[in-house]
């Protein structure tokens, strides 16, 4: 591992890395804020012709995604266990919880991929061929949906890779009790991705 730069005499009482992650998350949150502000503006302008999500996705679509949300929240819970076990020094258990976290992320991506395929092929064929008729409602319903869920999905994918790296670190003994903060920082990112999903889910599917 590279030499870590030490905190100075006057500090905030945490490692540099944690402040780095928090500030990065501020910036990432603002990227989502930009997309969400665009969504809000397109949807809630007079005469936007925005459909009701509940009717458009259908009950199955929303319930499938609700289940997916549940899985993502569970993977956040298991991430908490990874940190707790690492701090206690139970590295084997920490590894297993990390595997569960990675699995949760992969499951989420799989369901999202299925949903995207279904929506683009069956509901929004105009996206692939210019000849197909666009839907009767504002087609930005589809654009913003893909934009928001896609950008979030990319974050989940990065998070899965991040977690795999942490998992390998645990397995190879490079992460243990003494530098458990590396797990904590990875956890910050993973919980953030979870939190953003709850916002996106609420905006795009529920209201």
Binding region for other proteins (CB under 8 A):
2, 5-12, 14-16, 19-20, 23-24, 26-28, 30-35, 37-38, 41-42, 45, 48-49, 124, 126-130, 134, 138-140, 142-144, 146-147, 151
Q: What is the CA radius of gyration of the chain?
A: 20
CB of 32 to other proteins, least distance (A): 8
CB of 159 to other proteins, least distance (A): 18
Q: Residue 48: helix, strand or coil by DSSP?
A: coil
Task: For residue 13, give both structure tokens.
Answer: 């009482």
42-58 burial, b at 16+ Cβ within 10 Å, e below that, comes to ebeeeeeebeebeebbe
Of the pair 80, 120, the CB lying nearest other proteins is at 120
Of the pair 90, 143, the CB lying nearest other proteins is at 143
Closest CA to 111 of 49, 63, 173: 63
Of the pair 24, 107, the CB lying nearest other proteins is at 24
Of the pair 36, 94, the CB lying nearest other proteins is at 36
- Residue 199's H or E segment, with its range, is helix 181-201
Closest CA to 185 of 91, 103, 82: 82
DSSP 8-state assignment for residue 11: -
CB of 2 to other proteins, least distance (A): 7
CB of 116 to other proteins, least distance (A): 12
CB of 104 to other proteins, least distance (A): 27
Residue whose token pair is 């005469």: 47
Tell me if 172 sits within 8 A of 145, measured CB to CB: no
Of the pair 36, 102, the CB lying nearest other proteins is at 36
Residue whose token pair is 């905030």: 12
């Amino acid at each position: 591992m590279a030499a870590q730069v030490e905190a100075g005499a006057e500090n905030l009482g945490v490692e540099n890395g944690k402040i780095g992650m928090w500030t990065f998350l501020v910036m990432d949150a603002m990227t989502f804020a930009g997309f969400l502000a665009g969504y809000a503006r397109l949807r809630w302008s007079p005469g936007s012709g925005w459909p009701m999500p509940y009717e458009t996705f259908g009950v199955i679509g929303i319930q499938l995604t609700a289940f997916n949300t549940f899985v993502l929240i569970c993977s956040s819970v298991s991430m908490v266990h990874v940190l707790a076990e690492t701090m206690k020094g139970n590295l084997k258990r920490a590894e297993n919880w990390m595997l569960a976290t990675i699995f949760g992320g992969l499951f989420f991506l799989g369901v999202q991929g299925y949903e995207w395929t279904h929506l683009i092929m069956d509901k929004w064929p105009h996206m692939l061929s210019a000849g197909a008729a666009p839907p009767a409602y504002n087609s930005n319903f589809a654009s913003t949906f893909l934009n928001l869920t896609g950008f979030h999905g990319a974050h989940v994918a990065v998070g899965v890779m991040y977690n795999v790296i942490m998992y390998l670190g645990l397995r190879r003994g490079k992460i243990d009790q003494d530098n458990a903060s590396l797990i904590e920082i990875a956890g910050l990112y993973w919980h953030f991705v979870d939190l953003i999903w709850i916002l996106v889910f609420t905006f795009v599917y529920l209201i």
